[in-house]
Amino acid sequence: MQRRIAAALGAAPEDAEKVAPLIVIRTSGDQIQDRRLLEVGGKALFTKEIEEAMLEGRIDCAVHSMKDMPAVLPPGLVIAAIPEREDPRDAFLSRGARTLEDLPRGAKLGTASLRRQAQSLHARPDLDVQLLRGNVGTRMAKLEAGEYDAIILALSGLKRLGLDGAARSFIDPVARPPAPGQGALAIETREADQGQPWLEALRDLTTTTTVAAERGAMAALESSCRTPIGAYATLEAGQLFLIVEALSPDGRLRFRREAGLDLTGVDDAMVAARELGLKLGAELRDEAGDAIILPE
């Protein structure tokens, strides 16, 4: 992404570090590896230190995984651009089984995601779902060491690392929708900096529209790390289609909504897409109530 930002600023690839120097900030979410995020502050732990640096003027923009972005940003900051999305699906990795359904009864499944836990238990209530934190390499090493029988990771992360060949199979995003915005990157800036030409050059309209629908559902459901929800939107030939689901944390209950919207000729497709997400999310919230919230 550094090279793409530099190119959007008119620089050659070899000048990327000079034009858009990369500053690595290790966040609390990266450092805390022994607990679920919901126990220590939620998604904001992946963005807090970075956003503080931006508000203080130490950096000019931040690149985040969209699925880690809270529904509400700090005052003065905005998601200024969303580049073209990588594959949004989840990937299934194991030492033997090809799919989740092929795992032996009582198999140990590793994940840090409450959504993946709930979706997996809905399909296979016999599984022993265990906490698995750490970067991709750490998680894959624990699988190979036999600490888990299978793990589930975002396919986009595996692809960016060239490790997608390790996946045994890919999970159908219609059957088990991924996290809202999964596979997409968010370019966050100060509010005063949005709209600059280099940001416009990075923006992908299809991805921006589909992510707007998914995050609309997330906002309506007041999703946090305590609420297992998935959302998957597609946009083809002006036709937007959105699936949203919410589950009880134990996977026993599942609530789903899906709807389509013709965006042909719509003045602001992003607003219309977000409104569809808000509508479906509100319907699920009204139906499910507290059943989809993990008790504190």
Residues with catalytic roles:
68
The alpha carbon dihedral of 45, 67, 206, 170 has a sign of positive
Q: Distance between CA atoms of 220 and 167, rounded to whole angstroms?
A: 33
Percent helix, percent strand, percent coil in the chain, to nearest 5? 40, 20, 40
Q: Distance between CA atoms of 43 and 141, rounded to whole angstroms?
A: 25
Q: Distance between CA atoms of 80 and 228, rounded to whole angstroms?
A: 27
Per DSSP bridges, beta strands 150-154 and 90-94 are antiparallel
The C-alpha angle with vertex 114 and arms to 156 and 235, in degrees rounded to 5, equals 45
C-alpha 287, offset from chain centre: 24
Residue appearing with tokens 């530099």: 6
